[in-house]
Structure 1
Amino acid sequence: MAAAGLPYPGRMLHLRLLCILGAAVLVAAPTSTAQGRRDATSSEGMVVTISPDASEVGADILARGGNAVDATIATAFALAVTHPSAGNVGGGGFMLVHPSDGSPPVFIDYREKAPLSSTVDMYVDGGSRKSHRFVGVPGTVRGLSLAHEIYGTMEWAELVEPAVKLARDGFVIHANLARSLNLTLLVSHNDEFKRVYGRADGEAWEAGQRLVLTDLGETLARIRDDRTNGFYAGKTAELLSAEMERGGGYVTLEDLARYRARVRTPIQFRYRGHDVLSAPPPSSGGITLAQAMQMLEPFELRKHGRWSPAANHLIIEAMRRAYAERAAHLGDADFVEIDPKLWSAEHARDLAKSIDPEKATPSAEIGPPLTLAKESKETTHLSVMDASGMAVSNTYTLEAGYGSGVVVTGAGFLLNNEMGDFNPEPGVTNDNGRIGTAANLIAPEKRMLSSMTPTIVTKDGKVVLVTGSPGGRTIINTVLCVTLNVLEFEMGIREAVDAARMDHEWFPDRLRLMGADDENEKLAEALRAMGHDVRSSRGQGDANSILVDPAGVLRGAADDEYGAAVALPKK
Structure 2
Amino acid sequence: MKTPKRIPLLALLFLLSIFKISAQTYAKNGMVVSSNLESSKVGRTILQQGGNAIDAAVATAFSLAVTLPSAGNIGGGGFIVFMDSIGKTTTIDFREKAPLAATNDMYLNKDGELVKGSNHTSIKAIGVPGTVAGLYMAHKKYGKLPWKDLVQPAIDQAKNGFIFNWSLYRAAQRFTKEGNDNAFMDAYFRKENGAVLEPGDNWKQPQLAATLTAIRDKGKDGFYKGEVAKKIALWMKENGGIITKKDLKKYEAIERKPIEGTYKGYTIYSMPPPSSGGVALVEMMNLMEQADLKDIEFNSTAYVHLVAEAMRRAFADRAEHLGDADFNLDMPLEKLTSKEFAKQRFKGIDMKKASVSDSTKFGQLYDGQNTTHFSVLDKDGNAVSLTYTLEYSYGSRMGSEELGFIFNNEMGDFNPQPGITKGNGQIGTAPNLVAPEKRMLSSMSPTIVAKDGKPYLVIGSPGGRTIINTVFQTVLGVLEYEMRIDKAIEALKIHHQWLPDIIRYEKHLLSPDTRDALESMGHTLKPTNNLGSLMGITWDAENKVMTGASDSSSPDGGAAGY
Task: Calculate the TM-score normalised by the size of structure 2.
Answer: 0.92
Alpha carbons 1:85, 1:403 under 8 Å: kept:
yes
Sort the Cα spacing of 1:302 and 1:257 in 2 relative to 1 into closer, same or farther, 3 A: same
Q: What does residue 547 of structure 1 align with?
A: 538
**Which amino acid in structure 2 is aligned with residue 75 of structure 1?**
T
Alpha carbons 2:359, 2:421 under 8 Å: kept:
no
Alpha carbons 2:189, 2:196 under 8 Å: kept:
no
Q: What does residue 14 of structure 1 align with?
A: 16
Q: How far has the Cα of 1:326 moved from its partner?
A: 1.0
1:74-223 matches, within 5 Å, as 74-102=59-87, 104-124=88-108, 125-126=114-115, 127-128=117-118, 129-186=120-177, 189-223=181-215
Q: What does residue 563 of structure 1 align with?
A: 556
Match of 1:39 among 24, 40, 43: 24
Alpha carbons 2:125, 2:412 under 8 Å: kept:
yes
Alpha carbons 1:176, 1:561 under 8 Å: kept:
no
Q: Aligned partners of 2:125, 2:363: CA distance in 1, in Å?
A: 28
Instruction: Give the count of matched residue pairs.
Output: 537
Alpha carbons 2:97, 2:439 under 8 Å: kept:
yes
1:192-271 matches, within 5 Å, as 192-271=184-263
Q: How far has the Cα of 1:568 moved from its partner?
A: 4.9
Q: Aligned partners of 1:451, 1:528: CA distance in 2, in Å?
A: 27
Q: What does residue 476 of structure 2 align with?
A: 484
Q: Aligned partners of 1:146, 1:18: CA distance in 2, in Å?
A: 37
Alpha carbons 1:385, 1:391 under 8 Å: kept:
yes
Match of 2:335 among 313, 330, 341: 341
Q: Could you list the per-position Cα deviations for residues 162-214 of structure 1 after superposition, in whole angstroms to 9, with x for gaps in the alignment?
A: 00000011110211221123213347544233223334455443221121110
Q: Aligned partners of 2:454, 2:303: CA distance in 1, in Å?
A: 29
Q: Is 1:384 aligned with 2:376?
A: yes
Alpha carbons 1:218, 1:411 under 8 Å: kept:
yes
Q: Is 1:318 aligned with 2:320?
A: no
Alpha carbons 1:17, 1:563 under 8 Å: kept:
no
Q: What does residue 26 of structure 1 align with?
A: none
What is the SS of the residue equivalent to 2:154? helix
Q: Is 1:414 aligned with 2:406?
A: yes
**Which amino acid in structure 1 is aligned with residue 336 of structure 2?**
L
Q: Is 1:60 aligned with 2:53?
A: no
Q: Could you list the per-position Cα deviations for residues 224-274 of structure 1 after superposition, in whole angstroms to 9, with x for gaps in the alignment?
A: 000011100111001110111121111100000000000000000111111
Q: How far has the Cα of 1:18 moved from its partner?
A: 8.3
Alpha carbons 2:367, 2:444 under 8 Å: kept:
no
Q: Could you list the per-position Cα deviations for residues 114-153 of structure 1 after superposition, in whole angstroms to 9, with x for gaps in the alignment?
A: 0000001111232442332111000000000000011110
Q: What does residue 8 of structure 1 align with?
A: none
Q: What does residue 28 of structure 1 align with?
A: none
Alpha carbons 1:119, 1:442 under 8 Å: kept:
yes
Alpha carbons 2:390, 2:408 under 8 Å: kept:
yes
Alpha carbons 2:32, 2:561 under 8 Å: kept:
no
Match of 2:517 among 523, 526, 536: 526
Q: How far has the Cα of 1:521 moved from its partner?
A: 2.2
Q: Aligned partners of 1:415, 1:108: CA distance in 2, in Å?
A: 21
For structure 1, which segment, 241-250 or 104-113, has the greater mean C-alpha deviation from structure 2 after superposition?
Answer: 241-250
Alpha carbons 1:18, 1:563 under 8 Å: kept:
no
Long gaps (5+) in structure 1? 1-10, 20-30, 32-37
Sort the Cα spacing of 1:566 and 1:485 in 2 relative to 1 into closer, same or farther, 3 A: closer
Q: Aligned partners of 1:53, 1:411: CA distance in 2, in Å?
A: 23
Q: Aligned partners of 2:90, 2:295: CA distance in 1, in Å?
A: 35
Alpha carbons 1:18, 1:564 under 8 Å: kept:
no
What is the SS of the residue equivalent to 1:348? helix
Q: How far has the Cα of 1:334 moved from its partner?
A: 0.3
What is the SS of the residue equivalent to 1:363? coil
Match of 2:367 among 375, 381, 384: 375
Alpha carbons 1:468, 1:544 under 8 Å: kept:
yes
Q: Could you list the per-position Cα deviations for residues 388-439 of structure 1 after superposition, in whole angstroms to 9, with x for gaps in the alignment?
A: 1110000000111111101223011110010000000001111101111001
**Which amino acid in structure 1 is aligned with residue 486 of structure 2?**
R
Q: Could you list the per-position Cα deviations for residues 491-510 of structure 1 after superposition, in whole angstroms to 9, with x for gaps in the alignment?
A: 11111011010000000100
**Which amino acid in structure 1 is aligned with residue 198 of structure 2?**
E
Sort the Cα spacing of 1:162 and 1:391 in 2 relative to 1 into closer, same or farther, 3 A: same
Q: How far has the Cα of 1:351 moved from its partner?
A: 1.4
Alpha carbons 2:33, 2:559 under 8 Å: kept:
no
Q: How far has the Cα of 1:368 moved from its partner?
A: 3.6
Sort the Cα spacing of 1:546 and 1:16 in 2 relative to 1 into closer, same or farther, 3 A: farther
Q: How far has the Cα of 1:16 moved from its partner?
A: 7.6
Q: Could you list the per-position Cα deviations for residues 435-482 of structure 1 after superposition, in whole angstroms to 9, with x for gaps in the alignment?
A: 110010000000000000000000110111000000111000000110
What is the SS of the residue equivalent to 2:492? coil
Q: Aligned partners of 1:16, 1:80: CA distance in 2, in Å?
A: 28
Match of 2:419 among 415, 427, 432: 427
For structure 1, which segment, 117-126 or 389-398, has the greater mean C-alpha deviation from structure 2 after superposition?
Answer: 117-126
Alpha carbons 1:182, 1:205 under 8 Å: kept:
no
Q: Aligned partners of 1:296, 1:540: CA distance in 2, in Å?
A: 21
Sort the Cα spacing of 1:309 and 1:566 in 2 relative to 1 into closer, same or farther, 3 A: closer
**Which amino acid in structure 2 is aligned with residue 563 of structure 1?**
D
**Which amino acid in structure 2 is aligned with residue 353 of structure 1?**
K
Long gaps (5+) in structure 2? 1-12, 109-113
Alpha carbons 2:390, 2:407 under 8 Å: kept:
yes
Sort the Cα spacing of 1:366 and 1:295 in 2 relative to 1 into closer, same or farther, 3 A: farther
Q: Aligned partners of 2:486, 2:477: CA distance in 1, in Å?
A: 10
Q: How far has the Cα of 1:535 moved from its partner?
A: 1.1
Q: How far has the Cα of 1:533 moved from its partner?
A: 0.3
